[in-house]
A and B are shown apart, each in its own frame.
Chain A
């Protein structure tokens, strides 16, 4: 029978993994389980939940640093930060509803293990870029630490980079130190009426190449716009490019004015003020447009060079029943493909090639996730390195075996 183990210290975690090694048992590593359905389906002997490894052990606002257990919920962490006017600048998304789980369930460990990021990714980076230090237990049953609590640190290999985005396949994090940043005083969003994707890409490129310090740039086709809960957006009835400006009040107003002037020739312009802006970008961040889905729908997160987005979308539209929107100035495509047995995997992978970016199946049926590569297939040389990295941390294949790649 599958048991759920809830260690409360790193030492407990170490014991559990040591036991798993000797008894040749596999473990599913889980936080709150809000992103549990991402990855290839696994059948493990037991579940190791990090939810009891929780709580903030260090928070120094003036030092811009916070340390917490992986099981600390994002809701708790973000409310502590908000009390000091601070935030995790990479805008960690909440995919709960997108994956059929409630909102506000996710943990810091889950956000870091998935190397997630929201719309501000283009300006400040992803979880990996804010991850200063880690304590973790490897699949060898050893507690190791890497990094520290300071931003400038090149002492030894940066194992935090490997832990971020490894989806629990290399180690169980027991303590996480992150950089925190001041939250903006004011937020404003400029909406540009852009029915045509190529115009939208020009708008986003112009905005991101301007000196106006744009912190997010997205494009939503009309089908997505109409689903917005921000009535101002939904009622616009047209495809929109959205550009976000953040910072101190006077600066935001001034930059918004300048950006309007720069973009006036592209189409009609509207503005969202703080409250609507926050709600709108939360919808983009959490991919709320695609929370309704059927059995035959597959949802893809595709990272490409922004200038390649259009060609890729055109090719996909030609062969698949698909709805999509862009974030990261065109560098991130969220695409829901309907009615294809493989969820569109082969056409997406064939079009992108091995080096044109990466596509991850964020939501798909168990069958799709079992039969199609969930994470982008790697070239043989890279796949060999991936396997050897897994060997370095988890040679017995105990932790989340096969979640990312077969045999890893």
Chain B
């Protein structure tokens, strides 16, 4: 992976920078020893590693501001890092950059039931927010599968989703306010406990910006009352096509399930071998549909879903009759990644989104790729929202297999875009999909996005090398070019 050329001036001043930082921050907040830096050399995308120049772990927003102001003045790059669970390399360090870890921002600041929101520091885990309010019957809706570890600030940076997106939305739909620090040290508060922005939706653009616009230090999120009932139905199908039609029919019937997950046969087998909860091994595709809400509603919708499944040739149907049984249905799906990890030395997790109705075509083409590359693939699919997670199985110790897996992955993502989908549904672009951005966007599109980056970070010191395949200087992007008009429209009134 090609990263921006390290600045030798910064590298050579390392000792001086360390002592400056130790003046700005308490000494224990600055990490400079190689063995300690090692813990920060990668995030959840472990294929890429780089030792950071220095790691700082500030404790307050003012300290973050002081560090950024210092780095801004000194021309030093910053890589923000939450819990380090990014699957796209969003927190991959830079050799000449300071990794700014937010792990010490771990306090919930306020639980406000009257306004149904929680204000938390950026490093609080996603699950900790739900845990803080579930005693009162509330929860925080977005639930990425890393929720036990991932930080809420990281969720904002990545606009994280989870299995309940279709009904309850992504991070951006559940976020009310943020406090962030700009690269020049300025502290900005956007939103609050109220809805929508009065001016431009700056919080909306920061959400999902992958740490390139500012360092988020505090977050205010909406909490929802937990549904009184949730039940799941486990449906085996003889083909992914019939499972796909079933999904379309459920939605076509006006039902929005809380979650709707699909697994293909390799994933079913791996999961069943791992958790042994009775998944139908003969099925070619397995659908888990969860409905939540008042019990009378859930009971009725379960019957409607069951009828739709039968009409679509379901081979097996099980309806959860208890919380234990519902959790069992999910256990295999939730353990799908580690389960696949047991049947292969390594796996590479992809994250494209496709229009749901192109699923069986995409799966067919994917099995062709699988033969071409000689690598197996298992699929788990957020069927409700079209987000596909193909897991490519490979062996990193076998020469050339990682590269092959990466090429296979790139082909899958190009296919997603080709059928009307996108490169990434929830894992982010980071470094992983950076060089594929041209598959989805034109130069004009990417330049317009980079101009937004320039509005927040004109010197491009925040997390450079991520998201954008080519870095343009902000001054260059600022110029207005009028393209010579070849075609005139005579029927249009002109000035």
> Which A positions have Cβ atoms within 8 angstroms of B?
3-5, 7, 11-12, 15-16, 18-23, 25, 45-46, 60-65, 85-86, 115, 117, 121-122, 125-126, 128-129, 138, 140-146, 148-159, 161-162, 164-166, 170, 181-183, 185, 205, 208-213, 247-248, 250-251, 254-255, 258, 303-308, 328, 331-332, 355-360, 375-376, 378-379, 381-382, 385-386, 388-389, 391-393, 395-396, 404-405
Please measure, in the bound complex, the distance between the C-alpha atom of A255 and the C-alpha atom of B243, giving whole angstroms.
32
Is B422 within 8 A of A381, CB to CB?
no
Is B195 within 8 A of A331, CB to CB?
yes
Q: Which residue of A lies closest to B445 (CB)?
A: A144
Q: Which residue of B lies closest to A5 (CB)?
A: B493
Once A305-B194, A375-B198 are accepted as A-B contacts, the answer to whether A157 and B209 lie under 8 Å apart by CB is yes
Once A60-B357, A156-B441, A358-B194 are accepted as A-B contacts, the answer to whether A404 and B199 lie under 8 Å apart by CB is yes
Please measure, in the bound complex, the distance between the C-alpha atom of A170 and the C-alpha atom of B452, giving whole angstroms.
12
Is B252 within 8 A of A389, CB to CB?
no
Q: In the complex, which residues of chain B have a beta carbon less than 8 angstroms from the beta carbon of A126? A: 195-196
**Contact residues of B between 342 and 389, Cβ < 8 Å to A:** 353-357, 382, 385-387
> Which B positions have Cβ atoms within 8 angstroms of A?
112-116, 137-138, 158-159, 161, 165-166, 169-170, 172-173, 182, 186-190, 192-202, 204-205, 207-209, 225-228, 248-249, 251-252, 254-256, 293-294, 296-297, 300-301, 353-357, 382, 385-387, 420-429, 433, 437, 440-442, 444-446, 448-449, 451-456, 458, 467, 478, 480-483, 485, 487-489, 492-495
Q: Pick 5 A–B contacts, CB within 8 A, sort by A.
A: A152-B161, A154-B429, A211-B225, A251-B297, A303-B196
Is A162 within 8 A of B385, CB to CB?
no
Q: Which residue of A lies closest to B293 (CB)?
A: A213
Q: In the complex, which residues of chain A have a beta carbon less than 8 angstroms from the beta carbon of B199? A: 165, 358, 375-376, 378, 382, 386, 404-405
Please measure, in the bound complex, the distance between the C-alpha atom of A153 and the C-alpha atom of B329, giving whole angstroms.
27
The majority secondary structure among interface residues of chain A is: mixed
The majority secondary structure among interface residues of chain B is: loop
Please measure, in the bound complex, the distance between the C-alpha atom of A357 and the C-alpha atom of B190, giving whole angstroms.
10
| A-B pairs with lowest CB-CB distance, top 6 | A161-B204, A358-B198, A251-B297, A182-B254, A305-B193, A392-B451
Q: Which residue of A lies closest to B440 (CB)?
A: A155
* Partner of A210 from B225, B255, B301, B386 at Cβ < 8 Å: B225
Is A152 within 8 A of B158, CB to CB?
no
Instruction: Name the distance in Å between A12's Cβ and chain B's nearest Cβ.
Output: 6
Please measure, in the bound complex, the distance between the C-alpha atom of A209 and the C-alpha atom of B356, giving whole angstroms.
34
Q: Which residue of B lies closest to A405 (CB)?
A: B199
Is A142 within 8 A of B448, CB to CB?
yes
* Partner of A162 from B204, B441, B454, B478 at Cβ < 8 Å: B204
Q: In the complex, which residues of chain B have a beta carbon less than 8 angstroms from the beta carbon of A161? A: 172, 201, 204-205, 207
Instruction: Name the distance in Å between A293's Cβ and chain B's nearest Cβ.
Output: 22
Please measure, in the bound complex, the distance between the C-alpha atom of A322 and the C-alpha atom of B215, giving whole angstroms.
42
Is A165 within 8 A of B425, CB to CB?
no
Once A20-B495, A126-B195, A254-B294 are accepted as A-B contacts, the answer to whether A382 and B202 lie under 8 Å apart by CB is yes
Is A7 within 8 A of B251, CB to CB?
no
Residue from B204, B293, B452 with most neighbouring chain A CB atoms (10 Å): B204
Please measure, in the bound complex, the distance between the C-alpha atom of A54 and the C-alpha atom of B69, giving whole angstroms.
48
Is B169 within 8 A of A148, CB to CB?
no
Is B300 within 8 A of A209, CB to CB?
no
Number of A-B contacts (CB under 8 A): 299
Is A151 within 8 A of B386, CB to CB?
yes
* Partner of B293 from A138, A149, A251, A355 at Cβ < 8 Å: A251
Please measure, in the bound complex, the distance between the C-alpha atom of A145 and the C-alpha atom of B300, giving whole angstroms.
42
Q: In the complex, which residues of chain B have a beta carbon less than 8 angstroms from the beta carbon of A129? A: 169, 172-173
Please measure, in the bound complex, the distance between the C-alpha atom of A251 and the C-alpha atom of B299, giving whole angstroms.
10
Is B482 within 8 A of A157, CB to CB?
no
Is A115 within 8 A of B196, CB to CB?
yes
Please measure, in the bound complex, the distance between the C-alpha atom of A155 and the C-alpha atom of B421, giving whole angstroms.
10
Is A381 within 8 A of B252, CB to CB?
no
Q: In the complex, which residues of chain A have a beta carbon less than 8 angstroms from the beta carbon of B188? A: 381-382, 385
Instruction: Name the distance in Å between A10's Cβ and chain B's nearest Cβ.
Output: 12
Instruction: Name the distance in Å between B377's Cβ and chain A's nearest Cβ.
Output: 20
* Partner of A148 from B170, B422, B483 at Cβ < 8 Å: B422
Please measure, in the bound complex, the distance between the C-alpha atom of A159 and the C-alpha atom of B450, giving whole angstroms.
11
Please measure, in the bound complex, the distance between the C-alpha atom of A148 and the C-alpha atom of B386, giving whole angstroms.
12
Q: In the complex, which residues of chain B have a beta carbon less than 8 angstroms from the beta carbon of A45? A: 495
Once A161-B172, A375-B198 are accepted as A-B contacts, the answer to whether A16 and B426 lie under 8 Å apart by CB is no
Is B480 within 8 A of A21, CB to CB?
yes
Q: In the complex, which residues of chain A have a beta carbon less than 8 angstroms from the beta carbon of B204? A: 128, 158, 161-162, 164
Q: In the complex, which residues of chain A have a beta carbon less than 8 angstroms from the beta carbon of B256? A: 181-182
Please measure, in the bound complex, the distance between the C-alpha atom of A212 and the C-alpha atom of B229, giving whole angstroms.
11
Is B480 within 8 A of A396, CB to CB?
yes
Please measure, in the bound complex, the distance between the C-alpha atom of A138 and the C-alpha atom of B482, giving whole angstroms.
12
Is B492 within 8 A of A16, CB to CB?
yes
Residue from B137, B199, B209, B425 with most neighbouring chain A CB atoms (10 Å): B199
* Partner of B254 from A185, A378, A396 at Cβ < 8 Å: A185
* Partner of B445 from A20, A145, A258 at Cβ < 8 Å: A145
Q: In the complex, which residues of chain B have a beta carbon less than 8 angstroms from the beta carbon of A157? A: 205, 208-209, 449, 452-453
Once A150-B355, A155-B422 are accepted as A-B contacts, the answer to whether A392 and B197 lie under 8 Å apart by CB is no
Is A158 within 8 A of B172, CB to CB?
yes
Once A154-B426, A254-B296, A385-B202 are accepted as A-B contacts, the answer to whether A22 and B482 lie under 8 Å apart by CB is yes
Instruction: Name the distance in Å between A334's Cβ and chain B's nearest Cβ.
Output: 14
Is A149 within 8 A of B355, CB to CB?
yes
Once A148-B422, A150-B385, A392-B452 are accepted as A-B contacts, the answer to whether A382 and B195 lie under 8 Å apart by CB is no
Q: In the complex, which residues of chain B have a beta carbon less than 8 angstroms from the beta carbon of A23? A: 495
Is A159 within 8 A of B452, CB to CB?
yes
Once A164-B201, A303-B195, A385-B188 are accepted as A-B contacts, the answer to whether A138 and B448 lie under 8 Å apart by CB is yes
Q: In the complex, which residues of chain A have a beta carbon less than 8 angstroms from the beta carbon of B442? A: 144-145
Q: In the complex, which residues of chain B have a beta carbon less than 8 angstroms from the beta carbon of A404? A: 199
Is B297 within 8 A of A250, CB to CB?
yes
Residue from B297, B300, B429, B493 with most neighbouring chain A CB atoms (10 Å): B297
Residue from B165, B169, B492 with most neighbouring chain A CB atoms (10 Å): B492
Q: In the complex, which residues of chain A have a beta carbon less than 8 angstroms from the beta carbon of B426? A: 152, 154
Is B483 within 8 A of A141, CB to CB?
yes
Is B205 within 8 A of A153, CB to CB?
no
Residue from B193, B196, B293 with most neighbouring chain A CB atoms (10 Å): B196
Residue from A166, A303, A405 with most neighbouring chain B CB atoms (10 Å): A303
